[in-house]
Each structure stands twice: as C-alpha cells, then as structure tokens.
A and B are shown apart, each in its own frame.
Chain A
Amino acid sequence: MSKKKKQENIEKPYRKKLIKKRKPNRSVWGDIFLYLFLAFVALVMAFPIIYAVSSALKPLDELFKFPPTILAKNPTMDNFSDLFVTMGKSWVSFSRYLFNTVFITFVGTFGHLIVASMGAFVLAKYDFPGGKGFFKLVTVAMMFTGYVTQIPNYLILNRLGWIDTYWSIIIPAFAAPIGLFLMKQFMEGLPSSLIEAAKIDGANEWKVFISIVMPNVKPAWMTLIIFSVQSLWNNPAATYIYSEEKKTLVYAMRQIQSGGIARTGQGAAVLVVLMIVPIVIFVFSESQILETMASSGLKD
C-alpha cells in the first residue's frame, strides 16, 4: 500500500502540470479533434469484443432478440455451465479439450522460455564464431509464417513419431524465432560488468545465467510468455493431431459453432474462454511487455 501512495505522490505534480506542460507547437483544436477521433476508434475496436462477452452472458431468449441489445439485461453464467453439461455427455468432454489446451500452452511456453533464453544469453553476451550468423538466420525466419514450413514439418514430425501426440505442437513451439529475438535484444541492455562481477566471485556460466541474468530480465519473460501463450492457446492443432481426445479448444469451438443456432450461446461462451486468457495476461503484464518491446528494434 505504501508503495502505491509513494507513486501517487510522485505522479501528482505531473498531473497538475499537465496543462502547463503542453508542448508549445500544438494547437488546442488539433488536440480536441484527435482525442475525439481516438475515442471513436477505441469504441469501434472494442465493440466486437464487448459484444462477444455480453452475448456469452445473455440467456437464450435475449440472444435472439431483434433488434439486438448490446449489453445483457439479465446476465447469467448458464452458457458456461452448459458447456460442461452438454459437452460432458458427448464422447469427449469439454474439460478434456480445456485440459489439452492448458497442457500444451503451459508446457510449450515454459520450454520456450528456458530454451530461448539460454540461446539468447550467449548470443547477446558472448562473441563466438557463428553466433552472429545464427542470429541473422533467426531474423530471416521471422520473415516467413509457419504456414510455409507446415508440410515439411508434418513429414519431420512423422519421422520422429510425434504425430498425434501433444509433442507435435509443443516441441516446435520451443523454437519460435520471435522469442529468441526479443530476449536477445533485451539482454543486450544488461550491463556486462554484472556478469563479470559474478564470474570473479566464482560463479560458473550456468550459475550466472540462472541467478544473475534470468532475474534481471523478468520483463522479457512476460513478453515471451504472452507471445507463446497467444499462439499456443489459439492453436487449432488440426493438422498434426487427429485423435478426438487430444484436440484443442479452438477445434472444440469450431465443432460447437457448426452445431447451429441452438449452440449460439455456448459458442459465444467458448469464444470468451478462448480470448480472455491472453487478454488477462496482457493486462497484467503490459508495462513489462512495453519495457521489453522498447528494445525490439531491428538494426542491421
């Protein structure tokens, strides 16, 4: 609590000075116009998401009302509980889909964080033959989407015997280029003296990595986590996994939505489950992510 108060004390004079601190080369009308414009755009951007959330909360009779209401009048959680009830009777229960997605996301993100940070650490802090070339290769890999490699990946995963297992989604996610890229750029900002001091004190490289470097790049953790979660949580996994009981939430959502009008409420509920997780993570880690993104620039 005291910390918060302190921050407010620092911020208050800033707030009072807001008007005085205006930059001299700005016109008032321009500002007013821009703020109105921004507010309008924000409303447009947020509308589909607000609508999706409210329709997940609507009871059945409100869902099909015409003209539609934007906010639910009698919000219920029925749609969410229906997900478990009706899908519970089907061959694969909803909780199974949920578990699959959570498992894939959690393991994939965790592994990605470790593997990418280890690589980023040596790329950022040590000069060794092949390091720069490898990093260039990674930046090139950011320039094409995963779709290009999807077919050969299938053949490779097939050779490894991972088709139709969780690993077919999890292991390739470890090597996502954007994670290594952002981590490396952020680690370059760490002072080298920190590492040298630890070495003089007798720590080996692994110790330096675990107890010096990793705690100091916590903001970058969140960034890697959000990007990894975002891509894994929304992974339909339809091409590499074909057993029904190993499929993910996105797949379940498509099934529910193809169930027609009767499933509208549940479809909206799954949609909310799908989007709420990345958004909540982002809301709580926004400042850390922005701190990392400040070093995201692509220099040549």
Chain B
Amino acid sequence: MKEFFSKYVTLRKHNAQVAWKKAKKSKMCYAFLAPYAILFTLFYVVPVVISIFYSFTYYNILEKPRFIGLANYISLILEDDIFLIGIKNTFLIAIITGPLGYIMSFLFAWLINELPRWVRSIAVIVFYAPSIAGNCYVIFSVFFRGDAYGYVNAFLMNLGIIDAPVLWFINPDYMLPICMLVILWMSLGTGFLSFVAGLQGVDRSQFEAGYMDGIKNRWQELWYITLPNMKPMLMFGAVMSITQAFGVCDVTMALCGYPSTDYAARTIVTHLFDYGFTRFEMGYACAIATILFLMMILCNKAIQSLLKRVGT
C-alpha cells in the first residue's frame, strides 16, 4: 500500500514537472489567453464563488457580512411562500416552454432544410427574428390589453366566446399561459440557428445509403440518420434552451408587472431582483442565486446524459 502510494506521488510529481516545462514553453499561449481568462474569472468564476460564500451570511452592504450558516436556505425553503411560488412558476415555465421550444426549434429547422435556398434563408430570418428583436415582446401587451378594445378581447367577444373583457395580465389565471405563449414565440433562438447549420452539414451519401437500406419515410430518416448526426448540435441547443428557460424574468416583468398581482407571475430571478436590488438583503439573494445556479447545472447535466442516447 505504502509502495503504491509513493509510486503514485512520484508519478504525479513527474506529470506536474512535465506540465510545468510545457507551460514554460507555451508562455505565448498564456499571454494570448490572459485578457479573456482574467475577465472571465473576474466576472463569471469569482461571482459564483462569492455568491456561494455570501449565501451563508447575513449581508446588507452597510454592515459587514455575518455568518449565519444555513439559515438563509432554511427560511427560503420553509418560510418564504413567495419563493415557493417563484420556484413553481419557474419550473412550470421551464418544463413547458423549454422542451416545447427545443422541439419546435429542431422541427422547424428540419422542415425548412429541404426548401430551396432562397426560401430557406427567408424562413430563417422570419423564425429567428422574434428572438433577436429584443424587447419586441412588449407589443403583446397591446394585443392582450385588458379592456374591451384590446384586440384579443374584442376578437373573442365578437365570436361570443367571452362576454366580458378578460384582464389578461392582472388576472392570475391568465398570466402564466400568456407569458408562456410569448416565450414560445421567442424560443427559436441560438439553438435553432445551430440546428439549421447542422442539418446542412449532414453527409448526403448517408441518406442515399438509407434509401438502399429501405428507409421508408421522412420520420425513419430523421430518427436513424439525421438525429445521430446532429448530436453535438442537439447538445448545444439543449444548453441554450435550458439556460433560457430557467432564467425567464424579462417577459414576466414587462408584461405582468413587477411585482405582479398576487405574485402570480413571480419567477426565481424576479425574487432574486426583489431581495438583491430592492431590499438589499444580499445574503438572502445570494442563496437564491446559488439555488438557481445548482438547478441549471444539474438540469443541464441530466439532459446531456439523456441526449447521449439519441438514435441508439
């Protein structure tokens, strides 16, 4: 055992020496990477660490942080009803819009793949535009205005489906579904582009081999040839849509107000803003951020291991 241990140490030492020599030789690489690495560490790595650290403290910026152990987490989960609403809403939105948006992205990318070239490029612009149009979603507040002159209300009243105008963004029953609708409208984003590009890169000869082997329709072709070829893009798209689905807050804040009626449209991120930038309870807000961080990373890892099985 001891011998094994000392051997392990010498091996490690040797490896470290080799690495050190290599590192010395490749000073240029570090010089090139340094600007990015420093900024990345400063604004992405350190904040996560700080956030985890402060989540165990009571910190309100004015006083020095005071260590209080797990108290933040305990009160978040056991006492904070509004946070639980936020978690519920975030999960609802993530579970519905995440997979649906992802599938939509792939489906449309796949459907427009066979169109002639110029039609395809127009289609890409039309489908992708909502997600880069930035704040264009506020136009939905015009469509769903609460009085009888709101277009959706007027339309439904003319059809006789409803007899009084619905307060879409004030009535808690309607807030989330409409926000989901808007998020879905914007969900053909980076992942969609990646899919479109990936589908173009699938080797044509594989399809021809597929006809020979008796692939009958487009669905079989999709499952046995296209999807396995697209695995890296599928992974990338999944990362993009999960990150987006859990970070939802812009749409709900812009459409339903902040805070919304009965907190019905509160998400985790909105709760984070509330405690971080309105009440200045930084420790508490950091605990929320840490929970959100863990949720995102774990969900990403789970989905990735799931996607590895596609087409097998």
Chain A residues within CB distance 8 Å of chain B:
11, 15, 18, 23-27, 30, 34, 37-38, 41-42, 45-46, 48-49, 51-52, 55, 66-68, 115-116, 118-119, 121-123, 126, 128-131, 134, 137-156, 171-172, 174-175, 177-178, 180, 205, 209, 226-227, 230, 233-234, 239, 250, 253, 257, 271, 274-275, 278-279, 282-283, 286-287, 289-294, 296-300
**Binary interface profile of B, 175-214, with partner A (CB < 8 Å = 1, else 0)?**
0000000000100101001101110110000010001000
Partner of A297, one of B124, B218, B232: B232
State whether A234 touches B135 (Cβ < 8 A): yes
The CA-CA distance from A267 to B71 in the complex, in Å, is: 45
What range describes how many residues of B lie at the interface? Answer: 35 or more
The CA-CA distance from A172 to B30 in the complex, in Å, is: 20
When distances are taken between beta carbons in the complex, the residues of chain B under 8 Å from A151 are 47, 51, 54, 272, 276-277, 282, 285-286, 289
State whether B136 touches A49 (Cβ < 8 A): yes
The 3 A-B pairs at the shortest CB distance, nearest first, are namely A297-B232, A145-B247, A119-B36
**Which among B35, B36, B232 has the greatest number of chain A C-beta atoms within 10 A?**
B36
Contacts A128-B22, A154-B276 known; 8 new A-B pairs at CB < 8 A: A24-B211, A51-B142, A144-B48, A148-B293, A153-B43, A226-B132, A294-B201, A298-B232
Q: Which chain A residue has the least Cβ–Cβ distance from B125? A: A283
State whether B35 touches A119 (Cβ < 8 A): yes
When distances are taken between beta carbons in the complex, the residues of chain B under 8 Å from A279 are 125, 129, 132-133
State whether B39 touches A145 (Cβ < 8 A): no
State whether A148 touches B54 (Cβ < 8 A): no
Q: Which chain A residue has the least Cβ–Cβ distance from B244? A: A145
When distances are taken between beta carbons in the complex, the residues of chain A under 8 Å from B136 are 48-49, 52, 271, 274-275
When distances are taken between beta carbons in the complex, the residues of chain B under 8 Å from A278 are 132-134
State whether B36 touches A282 (Cβ < 8 A): no
Contact A234/B134 with A25-B218, A130-B23, A298-B236 known, Cβ cut-off 8 Å? yes
State whether A275 touches B47 (Cβ < 8 A): no
State whether A290 touches B197 (Cβ < 8 A): yes
State whether B297 touches A49 (Cβ < 8 A): no
Expressed in whole angstroms, the minimum distance between the Cβ of B272 and any Cβ of chain A is: 6
Q: Which chain A residue has the least Cβ–Cβ distance from B196? A: A290
Q: Which chain B residue has the least Cβ–Cβ distance from A129? A: B19
Chain A: interface secondary structure?
helix
Expressed in whole angstroms, the minimum distance between the Cβ of B42 and any Cβ of chain A is: 7
State whether A293 touches B32 (Cβ < 8 A): no
When distances are taken between beta carbons in the complex, the residues of chain B under 8 Å from A274 are 133-136
Interface residues in B18-75 by Cβ distance below 8 A to A read: 19-20, 22-23, 26, 28-30, 32-33, 35-37, 39-40, 42-48, 50-51, 54
State whether A275 touches B135 (Cβ < 8 A): yes
Q: Which chain B residue has the least Cβ–Cβ distance from A204? A: B28
State whether B35 touches A118 (Cβ < 8 A): yes
**Which among A26, A151, A153, A289 has the greatest number of chain B C-beta atoms within 10 A?**
A151
The CA-CA distance from A188 to B185 in the complex, in Å, is: 34
The CA-CA distance from A100 to B221 in the complex, in Å, is: 51
Contact A230/B132 with A175-B40, A282-B125 known, Cβ cut-off 8 Å? yes
State whether B126 touches A42 (Cβ < 8 A): yes
When distances are taken between beta carbons in the complex, the residues of chain A under 8 Å from B129 are 45-46, 49, 279, 282
State whether B130 touches A128 (Cβ < 8 A): no
Partner of A152, one of B35, B36, B47, B201: B47
When distances are taken between beta carbons in the complex, the residues of chain B under 8 Å from A126 are 26, 29
Q: Which chain B residue has the least Cβ–Cβ distance from A175? A: B39
When distances are taken between beta carbons in the complex, the residues of chain A under 8 Å from B249 are 147
State whether A116 touches B135 (Cβ < 8 A): no
State whether B51 touches A298 (Cβ < 8 A): no
Q: Which chain A residue has the least Cβ–Cβ distance from B131? A: A230
Expressed in whole angstroms, the minimum distance between the Cβ of B50 and any Cβ of chain A is: 4
State whether A143 touches B43 (Cβ < 8 A): no
Partner of A275, one of B133, B233, B285: B133
When distances are taken between beta carbons in the complex, the residues of chain B under 8 Å from A294 are 197-198, 200-201
State whether B29 touches A131 (Cβ < 8 A): yes
Partner of A38, one of B111, B282, B289: B111
Q: Quick check: is B242 within 8 A (CB to CB) of the other chain? A: yes
Expressed in whole angstroms, the minimum distance between the Cβ of A25 and any Cβ of chain B is: 6
State whether A122 touches B33 (Cβ < 8 A): yes
When distances are taken between beta carbons in the complex, the residues of chain A under 8 Å from B200 are 290, 294
The CA-CA distance from A141 to B285 in the complex, in Å, is: 20
Interface residues in B78-133 by Cβ distance below 8 A to A read: 108, 111-112, 114, 116-117, 121, 123-130, 132-133
Contact A147/B272 with A38-B123, A45-B185, A294-B198 known, Cβ cut-off 8 Å? yes
